[in-house]
Chains A and B, each alone.
Chain A
Amino acid sequence: MATENGSATSSDWQDRYYHVDQILDRPGPRTDPSFLAGDEVKDFLRNKCKILVIGAGGLGCEILANLALTGFKDIHVIDMDTIDISNLNRQFLFRPADVGRPKAIVAAEYVMKRVPGIKVTPYYGKIQDKGDDYYLQFNLVICGLDSVEARRWINATLVNLVDPENPESLKPLIDGGTEGFKGQARVILPTVSSCYECSLDMLNKPTTFPICTIANTPRLPEHCIEWASVLEWPRARGDEKLDTDDPEHIGWLYSIAAARAKEFKIEGVTWSLTQGVVKNVIPAIASTNAIIAAACCNEAFKIATSSAAYLNNYFMLIGTEGVYSYTFEHEKRDHCPVCGGEALEMSISREWTVEQLMELLTEKQNIQIKKPSLATPENPIYFQQPPQLEEAMRPNLEKKVSELVPDGGEITVTASSLPFSLSLIITYV
């Protein structure tokens, strides 16, 4: 579609980029001297730059529209989800007739129809389906995800991709996230600046309820709902998988939870709360997504064109009381298992079992590795996979760590779902 010399394409009409060109034709007072005003930068943005958008949901829809208007013409989008009716209050590229269709495909079609001359290539599937070669083709990656695990995966993948010999292998990652009236946008230069894993301890701890409270001494409506979903569902419905989008399933849980609440004289079990608890629903609105998505796309534009300095490196917004925002530089963590390079020292009791250590690795705010596998440089301690190996090593869970690892010894921790490993130096107290 692009012409040889790359200035204009057939779908561009005169003055199409009047607004953006005012920025690209001349530097501002805070523009870096490396900025190449004029045709060269426009050519790169419009004909050469290839950008990947991860997520075609609340943020993704906004991101795709903004990028298309800004002049990015080769956009790829990945999303594994299909459209649900509850998306329609904010995911503005979808209509009621699209419910059930893949988000990535519908979003790509819509943007191409509305903004002529833009190519949006959708992939309906998981980010983990794609390998290094796929990610290497892009200049920039923008994430609009609601999943911590997916963010950790792409972050670690892009950090691993960096080859010091090849500057092109460094793919700036722009990450946005929202919850209700709050949100954040950040720029991550893999290996150079603080990465997603470096800031893991900023996440709120998820609410969990002790199983004995749920089973014996409920106080809150949430306890009754957990009772219905965690204990009663498997008891009454056997192996049937709970589908939190199936109204029949939610209705069943709701009636069981309501009966339990009645028995214990607890108020407040509603349909909406039942769905909220079992699905872990996060409130989401169009306006917050618009702000955060715009901030992300603005960073993509500035990085792709050097027309202005980019965010260094974290923008946090709280819109519940006035407009409060905080822009700051999040620092790299030396012990970050993804980009830090230094082993983490951990002191534990000589009496601790391998299982206790694994629990700590799952819960600790700055580690949070679910289903860890452990090994010393010499011997495996415990592997989650494959099943035969897991079975063979299971007796180790009961053993004391001090029987398997000397004082000052190293343990390498790997997570089955994340492409990185963490080195621990174990000392005993």
Chain B
Amino acid sequence: MSSQDSQDIVTATTAIESAPDAKTRRYDRQLRLWAATGQSALESSRVLVISASATSSSILKNLVLPGIGHFTILDHAKVSHSDAGNNFFLEGSDSIGKYRSEEAVRLLSELNDGVEGRANTRTLEDILESQPEWITSFTIVIAHNLDHSLLHKLSALLWKDSRYPPLVAVRSAGFLADFYIQFHEHTIIESHSETSPSLRIDKPFPALRELALSLEYDKMDPTEHGHIPYVVILVRALEDWKKSHGNSLPKSYDERQQFKKGILALKMKGDEENFDEAEAQAYRCWTETKIPSEIAVLFSDPALSTDTLNTSTSPFFHLLAALKEFAAQSEIHTLPLTSTLPDMKSDTQNYIQLQRLYKARAEEEKQAFKSYLQVPVDDAMVDSFIKNAHALVVLRGKTWGAFDEDKGALAESLSTMPKETCIHLALSALSLLQASDTSVSPSAESIRAKMQSIVGQSIKLPDEADDAIGEIARAPFSELPNTAAFLGGMVAQEVIKMITKQYVPVKGYCVIDLIETWTGTIGA
């Protein structure tokens, strides 16, 4: 072990923190999910919300509480009688006649002193016309039940340049809703995947192999024997197996059972849990350590080609390029080792010894990985990237509305996910009908006709269409408080994932039915 390592361990185990400050205490329950890095991303974000509807206010509530940096509500309407009845961020009849945006901003701002809120009472048409750069200066833009043609203009503006903010388009009527996140590209290092990286039991690094081969079971006392970590037991068992089986792994079911029996036969006493654990984890011996297929796909990502990768490319793709090179150059063609060792039956000495072997090897591989980096990248980001290398995510999106213009995709979706697709189409039909005439409630027949025109006359709408159409025709202009609150949580959650670049946001249209209470995703 290098002196650098031992120093790290000394500092890591001696530095004493003082009690957390008020802000850390306030955010404690969320910091356990997205840590200081996620929190700082939230605090630097600027969110634009178009309309101060009940749904918009609910979305913002769930963003102001965890502490985004800034929000602006763009809305020129005055509070109506019906607004005052369904929005918790208006003060009942006292708010009637005042600007919705100003009232909502005032009341939302009370939730968190650390967040800056602004109201803007201009119209979206006006700003799209005269000051589009104001819109593109935000981190993310959210629009609820926006007029169809305005939404089109807004999405076109935000799609023009891949550096422009993502757009979240939210639509609802009565018990039904959907929302869509328009983004060009979204890369995630900290996906918080539940799969764990390989421990390299099938391809042990030299120090691990040496440790396993040095075991002398017959010379151990029962205490020692009962504390050998399962990783070491398995590496040794596999080495021994390979020696007696012409260097091949246990392949057939029978061989694998035999291998497991062999592990249990090593027990000195019946109650040695470390050997039970080794038997239970034996599958790791025939789960080959290799590049996971999801990551292998990323290696052919167009962003990695030499003509596109340059100093202005995001660090993510430079890290990915280095990862690809590392995998190509590594003897066993795999990802760099991570130093996180899961817990296992053992004692302090054996476990810490093994942990240090992994740590030392991970450090060596990290240095090798870094040598392939073409640009300097912050060390904390490199560490995080290696730790999550088995679960990196690259999402590429489509423009809002592209799905509704793709007749083939719609037909396919109607046959595989009819309920979800019908609700989505009925909401699309409603917004098209409202755009042409806002004064009358659309009839079921007009909604059906509009849906039919979206999918094309040759496609038969499934039976599920009746449920969606009937429910939309029942309450076309209804923004139910519970639907607004449900969407408020859903949309805020996805916006948090987009801003923090942690966890994986939904791709496609997330459709919500609050009658049977389900959600589904289509048009990804």
Contact = CB atoms under 8 A, between A and B. Distances in A.
A319 B351 contact: no
Interface in B4-43: 9, 12-14, 16-17, 19-20, 22, 24-33
A16 B62 contact: no
A135 interface: no
B244 to A, nearest CB: 33
Given A70-B482, A315-B517, A285 B86 contact: no
Contact of B489 (A287, A312, A325): A287
Given A19-B480, A20-B86, A298-B517, A92 B65 contact: yes
Contact of A15 (B30, B66, B81, B519): B81
Contacts of B124: none
Interface string B447-483: 0000000000000000000110111001111111111
Interface stretch (B88-96, B153-161, B330-338, B368-376): B88-96
Interface in A212-242: 216-220
B227 A217 contact: yes
Contacts of A284: 29-30
Contacts of B66: 89-90, 285-287
A417 interface: no
Contact of A320 (B478, B483, B503): B503
A15 B85 CA distance: 8
B86 A19 contact: yes
Contact of A255 (B16, B84, B111, B496): B16
B191 interface: yes
A290 interface: yes
A166 B113 CA distance: 52
Interface in A1-53: 11, 13-20, 22-23, 26-30
Nearest to B27: A89
Q: Most chain-A CB neighbours within 10 Å: which of B33, B489, B503, B507?
A: B489
Interface in A294-321: 294-295, 297-299, 301-302, 308-309, 311-312, 315, 317, 319-321
Given A15-B80, A19-B82, A89-B26, A267 B478 contact: no
A333 B352 CA distance: 46
Contacts of A280: none
A17 B384 CA distance: 51
A281 B478 contact: no
Interface stretch (A256-264, A339-347, A390-398, A419-427): A256-264
B19 A85 contact: no
Contacts of A62: 485
B483 A114 contact: no
A199 interface: no
Interface stretch (B282-290, B341-349, B407-415): B341-349
A299 B28 CA distance: 31
B486 A315 contact: no
B25 A323 contact: no
Contacts of A299: 517
Given A283-B32, A322-B506, A290 B492 contact: yes
Contacts of A14: 81
A265 to B, nearest CB: 5
Contact of A70 (B12, B479, B481): B481
Interface string A320-337: 111101010000000000
A73 to B, nearest CB: 13
A272 B35 CA distance: 11
Given A27-B474, A66-B485, A219 B352 contact: yes
B493 A29 contact: no
A95 B348 CA distance: 46
A32 to B, nearest CB: 11
A375 interface: no
A298 B514 contact: yes
A268 B355 CA distance: 13
A18 B517 contact: no
Contacts, number: 279
A261 B10 CA distance: 11
B20 A13 contact: no
B17 A13 contact: no
Task: Please tell me the size bucket of the interface on B.
Answer: 35 or more
A192 interface: no
B343 A219 contact: yes
Contacts of B348: 217-219, 264, 266
Given A89-B66, A311-B516, A293 B485 contact: yes
Contacts of B33: 180-181, 283, 285
A428 to B, nearest CB: 24
A115 interface: yes
A289 B348 CA distance: 40
B490 interface: yes
Contacts of A269: 13
A244 to B, nearest CB: 13
Contact of A271 (B20, B87, B467): B20
B103 interface: no
A243 B352 CA distance: 32
Given A18-B81, A19-B479, A267-B13, A92 B111 contact: yes
Nearest to B441: A22
Interface in B54-73: 54, 58, 61-62, 65-67
B82 A15 contact: yes
A124 B489 CA distance: 28
Contacts of A302: 515
B494 interface: yes
Contact of A294 (B13, B82, B486): B486
A290 B13 contact: no
B293 to A, nearest CB: 17
B521 A217 contact: no
A290 B486 contact: yes
A222 B54 CA distance: 44
Contacts of B25: 85-86
Contacts of A294: 482-486, 488-489
B192 interface: yes
Nearest to B478: A22
B517 A327 contact: yes
A88 interface: yes
B30 A283 contact: yes
Looking at B32, B481, B492, B496, the one whose CB has the most chain A CB atoms below 10 A away is B481
B518 interface: yes
B3 to A, nearest CB: 15
A279 B450 CA distance: 56
Instruction: Please give me the 8 A-B residue pairs with the lowest Cβ-Cβ distance, nearest first.
Output: A290-B489, A29-B470, A291-B489, A18-B82, A294-B485, A69-B481, A294-B486, A15-B81
10 contacts: A15-B81, A22-B477, A23-B174, A219-B348, A281-B32, A286-B61, A294-B489, A295-B486, A298-B480, A298-B483
Given A20-B86, A276-B32, 5 more contacts: A14-B81, A90-B65, A114-B92, A290-B62, A294-B483
Interface of A: 11, 13-20, 22-23, 26-30, 62, 65-66, 69-70, 85-86, 88-90, 92, 95, 114-116, 180-181, 185, 216-220, 247, 250-251, 254-255, 258, 261-262, 264-272, 275-276, 281-295, 297-299, 301-302, 308-309, 311-312, 315, 317, 319-323, 325, 327
